[in-house]
Every structure is written in structure tokens, then in C-alpha cells.
Structure 1
Amino acid sequence: MTGIARIETATAVLPLPAPLHLGAMTVTRREYSAVRASDADGFSGVAYCLSREAPMAEIVERLVAGHAIGANADDPAATWDRMLRGSAIVGRVGLVRRAIGLVDIALWDVAARRAEMPLWRMLGTGNAPRDAMLVAAYPSAARTPREVADEVLAQADGWSQVKISRMPDPAYMRELLALLGDDLPSGTGLVVDVGFGWRDADEALAEIAQWGDPRLAWLEDPLLPEDAAGCARIRRESGLRVSVGDEVTDPAVLRALVEAEAVDVLRLDVVAIGGVTPARELIAWASDRGVPVSGHVYPEVTAHLGIGVETFARGTNPYDPAPSFIVGGPVFAGTVRPTDAAGLGFTLDPGVFDLSAFSGGRR
């Protein structure tokens, strides 16, 4: 048996050109944490995530990495169980679960590289094109609905879905949704991300009623995911398709949404939920119940899982600079096809994400 010999971490901070307002949150910079796992034969795998200003690297180093050292490099699922049980006294959800997810993804990368195959082949998900959603615009009071609509329309052709965030001004949203409803390509669905911005179903339904008759692929994260009953009511009374699940770390929360008939599409953050190992189980569980799954960011990983992916524009964009430090990865052409390269098929650009910054880590 070849064991995992080293887990290293690094952090990078990239400023945004202007603040983003997401529900009740304001984002002025993007901080990323990365993990590199290496086995005794010299194979390495990587993973990264949005830290959301949490000390992810420190959590990996202090609470998780030690449980992966020495584990079988060909059996990441067994290592996931070691990491979960080893850190159970601290927490099985929340930041610890995110840290486990980071390491788990890197370990799957190692295992697939050792097998000299892309991860999708190891997982048996195939490489057929998956639906892809482009995060196209974040409306703001500084820009007119026409300006935002033009930004979306300039990018929309060929994509399965395009996504905008909600503006809390109902009149603004009514105009913007009308413009996009008239001009979006017929094969492109529109998603509105509320970012958990409504307190309850009453507030949500009152505002949605002022939007006119929007044609949406789905309404995303209207309420906190723990409010399955409220999400079900919005879905039932608004007539809109609903999708919920971003940033959820507890699988029971996602299952409750499905069981309450609160979602048409289940959202899944592969890092937050704990990595590839639990994501596979949840995707299969949702599929058995006829509920499709859409991945939240990290398209380089979710493309291998056989589900819909979310991405920002390749190259420089004003919302999330992650594509600027990803080398390789899936091919985007409206839909997305996972890479045929071994493992996850991407690396981190040392010109943006300084690989020399990786810590001494755990050995």
C-alpha cells in the first residue's frame, strides 16, 4: 500500500474591482485556500476553495491533515471516513467539514492520477457534455436595467443557463426581467440568485408578485436552506421553479429540502458538503428521487461528478477571479465537458497562486 505522505496548504487573496452585494453580504475581495496532497510515490493532487474569510488553511493543518497522513492513496473514500471520525469531537459540519472537503478532493485527484485516468472515468460518470450556468451579472443601483441586460445578453448565446443576482428594488427587477425575457436566446434559461436575501416566505412572495411574470429556469436560494417549509411554500405559491443548497455543509439539510418538495433542482457545493466522497452519495440519492443536481462554483471538480456546473467567464471577470489561476480543467462551449487529463485535470497557476507559498504542512 502506498500512503499519503504530505498535506500542504496555501492562501491567496485577490481584490475585486468593485464591491459585490449578495443578499445581506458585501464582498470586497476573494480569498482562496488551496490544498496539495502528495503520496509516497510522488503523485500530487490539488484542490481550492473560496475561504469566505475563514481560516481554512489553519483548520486543514490543525484538525484534518493529520488524519490523512499514512492513509491508502488509492482509497480516498476510506480516508474521508478517517478524517471525519478523527475530527468528530470538533465538528462534523461547518468549517471542519469544508476542510475535510478540500483534502478529500485533492486525495481523489491523487488517486485518479495514480490510476492514469480522469476522475470522471474513475467515478463512472462519463464525459458527455453537462449543462453549464454562466454567472453573468450582478445588478447594482449604479447601472440601469438596460445596461445590466446588455451585459447578460452579450454573453448568453449557447449557455444552458445564465444567472443574475437579485436587486432588492422590485421595480428594477421587473424591468430587468422583462428585458431579459424578451431578448434571451430561446435555449438559455435565466436564474435569479437571491442569496438567502428574504427573511421568510411572506416577504419573498410579496416581492415576487411585483416582478411581473418572469420566465425563470429557477429561483435560487430565496431563504436559508434550513427553512425547507418556507422554500416549499415559495415554490408552491409563486409557480416558480426553486433551487436551494449553496454553501450547505450538512447533508441532512439537503435531504430535508428534497423530502419537503421544496426544490426542483438541488444545489450542491462539493467543498462545503465534504468533498467528492459524500457528494457522490447525495447525487445518487437525489437522482433516485428524480431531483437533478446543480453544482455551486468549482466547475473543475463538479464537471467530473456528472451534474450541471456553474462558472464565471473564463479569463478576467469582475466577480470571481478564480478562472485566472486555473490551468487546464474542463472545456466550456455553452455546455461543459470534463477534461480527459488524468485526475481532476487542472493545476494552479504559480503566477497568480504562488505555489511556493504552500506551507510545510503535515508529513
Structure 2
Amino acid sequence: MTIESVLGSARGVLSPDAGDSVRGDDGAVIVSIETYALAVPLARPIADATAAMSHWTVPVVEIRTADGRVGTGISGVHCAPELLADVIGKYYSPSLLGASSEDVLGTWKRLYWLPTHWMGRAGVVHMALAMVDIALWDLSAQRAETPLWRLLGGTAADIEAYNTDGGWLNLSETELTRDLLSLIDDGWNRVKIKVGKGDFREDARRVRAVRAAIGDDVTLMCDANQRWDLATASRIMPVLEEARMDWVEEPLHADDLGGHVRLQRGTILDIAAGESIYSYQQFSSFIEADAFRVVQVDATRVGGVTEWLQVAAHAAARGLRIAPHAGDMMQLHQHLVGTVVSEVPPLIEFIPWTQDAFVERSTVSEGYLKRPQLPGASTTIDPVARSRWQITGVGGVFSS
């Protein structure tokens, strides 16, 4: 299945400046939109090189259609979920109400080219577009009475996962190694640690200690969360090579294309990025420049499922690895991995923080994700979770 055939299933594609959407099936007409957000508490405080957190915030949009279905779009943020809710409620809802939820690609183009385009082709505005797009794909899979991965033609095989929830920067060296060894005892063969301390020599000590503790058979990655400049990254790269890192994630500022190119050319390790890249066009620039080898495209940061598929197809055609960053805590991405033709096995990031927020929890055993089976995108929020964790004063209901 090609990317064009997948996106072409959204009927009635519009030109960017079209004023009216394609109506389609009357039952698919959007009759109301609701936004809200959850603050899901973490099991313990964590920190990376940019943020310290005690909870993860899940902004939500629910799009209701005339036939009674509800499509749910989600995101994941450190703060300010009200900004996403405001974009959807104040600026997107007038273009959505009365339109057909089946017109996925047409809706994407129409929202993208609203005047908000000039306020944010990346960041909040684009993430709000992603939430709407995810909700529409959730509805599409529900109407087809199938899980989204099957609607997209994805493999039914289990997907290998790696664990991100054991290598936090706020842990002491002893706590760090103990945490990772615990994950390995639980069956994980791929683990990731955070780097980006104020002194890169401390990162070097921690990396060496971890590799010595876990042995040679466990795959290890590291994530600097953009905290190094090119000089610092170049200095520590020999240590990371010595530790046989599978990849080095976000070593530099996300917009530093030239720096990524120079760093990737100078190391045998794979550079990974994508968590902070928000468009197909920017990904294309990085791919064509050979700036990285691991593409971490996140559907909650690019424009949802629609743009994710475009980026993933481009990356796969160049033989690159696709390992999505999971701002959604992999609820949606468990459907997206393994949907493009690639000789590189699919891989997904496992972060367990928000499992209790959803009706359909992810299932991972011995480091492998089992495909979800309920119709839709696995984004439906558990009503009990909403009653416990909804943030007061964020969002609203909009209807025609």
C-alpha cells in the first residue's frame, strides 16, 4: 500500500483555499467538538536535560459525528494544554462543524492553510492540527470496524519495543544502573538513558558505568535533549562509540541542520532526531542532507497521522530507521509503526506513564508490543481517568 493510496481513502480532497468541505455520508458529519486535558501523575519524579516532571499532560479533542461516533485525538506536553485547546476551539472548530469527518486529507489542508498558518507552522498550531487529524483517523478506523493499523495495511506481527523509563538524569549513578538492571530483569533488551549534564565528563562517567553494569548483550541508546553544542557533542562522541550506543538522540539544537550533518559524518554511531521536527518539509531537508540515520517522527508533533505517513514513507525509501518519539506514550504510534515498506524492522518507544488514562491499554511482553484489536486508534479516554485527572478550566464544548 502506497502513501498516496492510504491518504486517497479520505474522500473529496480539497484545494487549500476551498471554502466548503465535502459533505460525504450524512452520518459522518461533525456535530460537536470537545476539548479538555488530563494531568496524569507519574510513579516518581523524573528529569531530563530540559525539564523535571511529576506528571504528564494529555490534551484531548473529541469529535462527535451525526451517527453517534466519537473520534479522539490526543497530544502530550509538559505544560500549557490550554493553548492547544484554544487553537482547536477558537480557530479550527468553525471549519470543522458541519463538515464530513471522512474528508481527512481535505480537512488537513483546509486547517493547515487557515490564517493560523502564519502564527505557527510548527509548535502549538501544528500540534493542534495533529490532534484533529488523529481524531479523524480514529473515526475512520471505527467506521471501518477495524484497528487503525489494519486500516493502514500494517503488519500484524508483534513490534519490538525499547524502554525509556529507566535512565533519568535526576538519578544518581548507582540509582541509574540499578534502574536499568531492573528493566533488563523484566525482559527488556533495549534501554535508553538520558545525558546532557552540565559537565559532559559526568555524562561520560555515567555512560561507562551503565555499559559496565548491563554488559555487552543489551542494546543501549542515549538522549541529550538538544543540550550539547557541536564542540561538546564531538568531544563526548568517542566515549559513546566506546560504549557502543545504538544511537545518540537529539545531540544538538533541533534546527541545526548543518551541525547534525557534520556530527553524523564524523561518527560511526547513528544520530537520531525528530521529536522536535514539526513538518514533512523539515524532515525532508534532514533526510536529503544525510543529517541522521534514525527518524523519530512523532504524530503529535507533525500534523498527525496524515503527515506521519508521508514522513515515514520518505524515510523508509531512503533506508533509514523509523523509531517514533512517543509524545502520545505510544497509544497511537502502536498503530503506525510497521505500516510502510522497509527492510528495517519497526521499533517503538515504550513509556508506561499514561496507560491508565485509556480504555485500551498497550500490551507489551518480553520487550515486544502486541497489536491492539479494538476498532479505532486506541485513543479513547477512560471516563474514570477523566474524572480523576481532568485539569479545571481547560477546554470547552463547541457545537453547530
CA shift, 1:75, in A, is 3.1
- The residue number in structure 2 matching 1:335 is 368
- The residue number in structure 1 matching 2:94 is 66
Matched letter for residue 317 of structure 2: D
Shift in CA distance, 25/342, structure 1 to aligned 2, threshold 3 Å: same
Among all aligned residue pairs of Structure 1 and Structure 2, give the percentage whose two residues are the same amino acid.
26
Distance 2:324 2:287 in 1: 16
Matched letter for residue 240 of structure 1: L
Shift in CA distance, 176/127, structure 1 to aligned 2, threshold 3 Å: same
Contact 2:58 2:74 in 1 (8 A): yes
Q: TM-score, normalised by structure 2?
A: 0.81
* Range that drifts further, 123-132 or 213-222: 123-132
Does 2:32 match 1:32? no
Shift in CA distance, 350/247, structure 1 to aligned 2, threshold 3 Å: farther
Contact 2:40 2:354 in 1 (8 A): no
Matched letter for residue 312 of structure 1: I
CA shift, 1:104, in A, is 0.6
SS of 2:332's equivalent in the other structure is: helix
Q: Among residues 358, 368, 372, which one is paired with 1:326 in the alignment?
A: 358
* Range that drifts further, 296-305 or 340-349: 340-349
- The residue number in structure 1 matching 2:104 is 76
Q: Among residues 132, 145, 150, which one is paired with 1:121 in the alignment?
A: 150
Distance 1:256 1:225 in 2: 12
Deviations 1:212-263 (A, max 9, x none): 7111110000012221221122222232211011132122221121111111
Distance 1:203 1:345 in 2: 41
- The residue number in structure 2 matching 1:360 is 397
- The residue number in structure 1 matching 2:335 is 304
CA shift, 1:116, in A, is 0.5
Shift in CA distance, 204/186, structure 1 to aligned 2, threshold 3 Å: closer
Distance 2:214 2:39 in 1: 35
Distance 1:141 1:120 in 2: 36
Deviations 1:189-220 (A, max 9, x none): 2111100011x211211233455711111000
Matched letter for residue 73 of structure 1: S
CA shift, 1:150, in A, is 1.5
* Range that drifts further, 284-293 or 153-162: 153-162
- Runs of at least 5 residues in structure 1 that lack an aligned partner in the other structure: 314-320
Q: Among residues 94, 107, 113, which one is paired with 2:123 in the alignment?
A: 94
Q: TM-score, normalised by structure 1?
A: 0.88
Q: Among residues 254, 260, 270, which one is paired with 1:241 in the alignment?
A: 270
- The residue number in structure 2 matching 1:161 is 190
CA shift, 1:349, in A, is 2.2
Distance 1:89 1:242 in 2: 31
Distance 2:384 2:237 in 1: 44
Deviations 1:115-169 (A, max 9, x none): 11111111112222223121132444662x2321110121135435211111424
- Runs of at least 5 residues in structure 2 that lack an aligned partner in the other structure: 1-24, 339-345
Deviations 1:168-189 (A, max 9, x none): 2444433432343245376642
CA shift, 1:89, in A, is 4.5
More strand by share: 1
Shift in CA distance, 167/91, structure 1 to aligned 2, threshold 3 Å: closer
- The residue number in structure 2 matching 1:348 is 381
- Equivalent pairs counted in the alignment come to 354
- The residue number in structure 2 matching 1:318 is none
Q: Among residues 220, 244, 254, which one is paired with 1:215 in the alignment?
A: 244
Shift in CA distance, 5/116, structure 1 to aligned 2, threshold 3 Å: same
* Range that drifts further, 90-99 or 289-298: 90-99
Contact 1:60 1:99 in 2 (8 A): yes
SS of 1:102's equivalent in the other structure is: helix
SS of 1:11's equivalent in the other structure is: strand
Matched letter for residue 78 of structure 1: G
SS of 2:252's equivalent in the other structure is: coil
Distance 1:108 1:141 in 2: 38
Matched letter for residue 72 of structure 2: V
Shift in CA distance, 340/303, structure 1 to aligned 2, threshold 3 Å: same
Does 2:43 match 1:6? no
Contact 1:11 1:32 in 2 (8 A): yes
Distance 1:67 1:341 in 2: 29
* Range that drifts further, 337-346 or 25-34: 25-34
Shift in CA distance, 187/255, structure 1 to aligned 2, threshold 3 Å: farther
